[in-house]
């Protein structure tokens, strides 16, 4: 009888310890594994192009069919310095390429305009970690500079173009995203749009 009682007591102890252990196990805070950051999926359109040729500009170039061009009619409440100020909007990416044309004359010399272009690039990209500026010239005697800027900057792609023969024309372009985005998420979009801007430069010609 004593042996049976001892066995029963031992069983009760084991059962009690199991219940207590289960209680403490359930009370522990669960450990969550953070999920990797996900970005919205971007649908990239097929690369097809059309020719820009408008009566308010003295230039032609090719731009993607999924982009829309809008002439700038106001600049800080006033008319722009030239009728040939326009935006190339990329609605699929919520981005825009601002283009501003200035004729070269005694007041706006090529040296002054080039210096201003470098100043604008530096001012807009104070937080850049790296900038690659390159001389550019295409087969239509159009020359200039391109600027690829890395880091949390306002405008990661910029350029200016002029005519290498007579030096009468000057245009500056700056690409922006309309909303603030993470660098990792915009990298593929930048690569996609950079090809479109390169197509614009390669086909650019003054009328």
Cα separation, 101 vs 82, whole angstroms: 7
Mean pLDDT of the chain: 82
Strands (E), the chain: 49-52, 59-64, 68-71, 85-90, 95-103, 130-137, 142-150, 157-163, 169-177, 205-206
135-147 pLDDT per residue, tens? 999 999 999 999 9
Residue 68 structure tokens: 């829309």
Residue 198 has pLDDT above 70, yes or no: yes
Residue 35's pLDDT band, with cuts at 50, 70 and 90, is very low
Cα 66 from chain centre: 16
85-105 pLDDT per residue, tens? 999 999 999 999 999 999 999
* 177 against 20, higher pLDDT: 177
Task: Report all structural domains of the chain as residue ranges with CATH numbers, in order of start.
Answer: 49-206 (3.40.1000)
122-181 pLDDT per residue, tens? 776 666 777 889 999 999 999 999 999 888 788 899 999 999 777 899 999 999 998 876
Contacts for 112-115: CB closer than 8 Å, 24+ residues apart: 113/160, 113/162, 113/170, 113/172, 114/145, 114/160
Query: What is the model's pLDDT at position 124?
Result: 62
Residue 57 has pLDDT above 70, yes or no: yes
CA-closest candidate to residue 98, choices 127, 77, 132, 67: 67
């Amino acid at each position: 009888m004593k042996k049976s009682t001892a066995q029963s007591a031992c069983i009760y102890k084991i059962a009690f310890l199991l219940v207590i252990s289960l209680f403490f196990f359930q009370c522990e805070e669960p450990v969550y594994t953070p999920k990797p950051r996900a970005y919205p999926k971007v649908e990239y359109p097929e690369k097809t192009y059309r020719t820009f040729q408008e009566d308010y500009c003295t230039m032609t170039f090719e731009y993607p069919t999924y982009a829309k061009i809008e002439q700038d009619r106001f600049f800080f409440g006033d008319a722009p310095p030239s009728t040939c100020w326009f935006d190339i909007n990329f609605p699929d990416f919520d981005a825009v390429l601002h283009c501003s044309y200035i004729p070269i004359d005694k007041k706006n010399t090529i040296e002054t305009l080039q210096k201003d272009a470098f100043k604008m690039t530096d001012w807009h990209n104070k937080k850049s970690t790296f900038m690659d500026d390159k001389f550019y010239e295409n087969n239509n005697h159009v020359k200039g500079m391109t600027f690829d800027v890395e880091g949390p900057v306002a405008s990661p792609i910029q350029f200016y173009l002029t005519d290498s023969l007579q030096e009468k024309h000057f245009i500056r372009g700056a690409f922006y995203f309309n909303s603030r985005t993470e660098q990792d998420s915009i990298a593929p979009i930048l690569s996609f749009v950079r090809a479109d801007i390169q197509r614009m430069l390669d086909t650019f010609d003054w009328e």
